[in-house]
Amino acid sequence: NAGVTQTPKFQVLKTGQSMTLQCAQDMNHEYMSWYRQDPGMGLRLIHYSVGAGITDQGEVPNGYNVSRSTTEDFPLRLLSAAPSQTSVYFCASSYSEGMNTEAFFGQGTRLTVV
C-alpha cells in the first residue's frame, strides 16, 4: 500500500514549456485534488475530482488542466509554464463521504519555472 505517489519530486521548466505532474493513489479513494503551496499563503486548491470522469475547479485553476480517466490517477497539466507557477505542488486523496474524509498527501513536487 503506497498511499499517494507523486512524480517527479523536482522539476525545472523554461517559460512556455509544458509538463504533466503525475499523481496516483492505491486506496480506492473517490476524491482527489491538487494544491499549490506558496510561502504565507498556505495550500490553495487548484482542481479537484469527486470520481472518475468528474473534475472541478478550485481557487486557482488558471493555467492548469486536469483529467480523471481512472479512480487511481489524477494528472495535473501545465500547458505553458509561467514563472508565477513556481511552487510546491501537492496531490491529495480521500473518501468523499463519511467519517474518514481526511486527505492523504503525496510527498510533493517542487517546480521551478525560469
Partner 1 sequence: AQSVSQHNHHVILSEAASLELGCNYSYGGTVNLFWYVQYPGQHLQLLLKYFSGDPLVKGIKGFEAEFIKSKFSFNLRKPSVQWSDTAEYFCAVRDNDMRFGAGTRLTVKP
Q: Is 19 in the site for partner 1 (CB under 8 A)?
A: no
Q: What are phi and psi of 74, to 5 degrees?
A: -150, 80
Whether the upstream peptide bond of residue 61 has omega within 30° of 0, thus cis, is no
Q: Is 94 in the site for partner 1 (CB under 8 A)?
A: yes
* Among 56, 79, 80, 114, contact with partner 1 (rule: CB under 8 A): 56
Tell me how many helices (H) and strands (E) the chain has.
Answer: 0, 11
Q: Is 48 in the site for partner 1 (CB under 8 A)?
A: yes
Coil/strand/helix, residue 103: coil
**Which residues contact partner 1 by CB under 8 A?**
33, 35, 40-45, 48, 56, 58-59, 90, 92, 94, 99, 101-103, 105-108
